Amino acid sequence: MAIKYTTKVIEHFKNPHNIGIIENADACATEGSPACGDEITVYLKINKETDRIEDVKFQSYGCASNIATGSIITDLAKGKTVDEAEAITWKQAAEELGGLPPVKMHCSVLAVDGLRSAIRKYKRDVKGIDYDSSLDVKTITEELRHVLYPPVGADIITLKMVKYIGIDDGAVRVEVSISSDDKFLDPTIDEIVEHVGRMSGVKSVHVENV
Which residues are annotated as catalytic? 36, 107
Among 25, 85, 88, 107, binds ligand FES (CB under 6 A): 107
Using the rule CB under 6 A, is 63 a contact of ligand FES?
yes
**Quick one: 38 or 84, whose CB is closer to ligand FES?**
38
Among 6, 32, 36, 121, binds ligand FES (CB under 6 A): 36
For residues 103 and 64, the answer to whether their CB atoms sit within 8 Å is no
**Quick one: 37 or 128, whose CB is closer to ligand FES?**
37
Specify the stretch interacting with ligand FES by CB under 6 A; choose among 63-71, 72-80, 170-178, 185-193: 63-71
Report, in Å, the least distance between residue 8 CB and ligand FES.
Answer: 16
**Quick one: 18 or 65, whose CB is closer to ligand FES?**
65
Using the rule CB under 6 A, is 38 a contact of ligand FES?
yes
Q: Which of residues 127-156 bind ligand FES (CB under 6 A)?
A: none
Residue from 88, 149, 156 nearest 118 by CA:
88
Specify the stretch interacting with ligand FES by CB under 6 A; choose among 14-22, 60-68, 130-138, 185-193: 60-68
Q: What is the C-alpha separation between 22 and 176, in angstroms, rounded?
A: 40
**Sequence letter at residue 138:** K
Using the rule CB under 6 A, is 62 a contact of ligand FES?
yes
3-state helix, strand, coil in the chain (%, to 5): 40, 25, 40
Task: Identify the bridge partners of residue 32 per DSSP, sorted by sequence position.
Answer: 39
Q: What is the C-alpha separation between 118 and 29, in angstroms, rounded?
A: 5
What SS3 state is found at 43?
Answer: strand
Q: What do you get for the CA distance between the two ends of the chain, in Å?
A: 34
Among 29, 110, 140, 196, binds ligand FES (CB under 6 A): 110
Report, in Å, the least distance between residue 17 CB and ligand FES.
Answer: 18
Report, in Å, the least distance between residue 58 CB and ligand FES.
Answer: 12
Q: What is the C-alpha separation between 110 and 89, in angstroms, rounded?
A: 11
**Quick one: 100 or 162, whose CB is closer to ligand FES?**
100
Alpha helices (H) in the chain, listed in sequence order: 7-14, 64-77, 82-86, 90-96, 105-125, 137-144, 185-197
Task: Identify the bridge partners of residue 148 per DSSP, sorted by sequence position.
Answer: 155
DSSP 103-118: GGHHHHHHHHHHHHHH
Binding site for ligand FES (CB under 6 A): 33, 36, 38, 62-63, 65-66, 107, 110
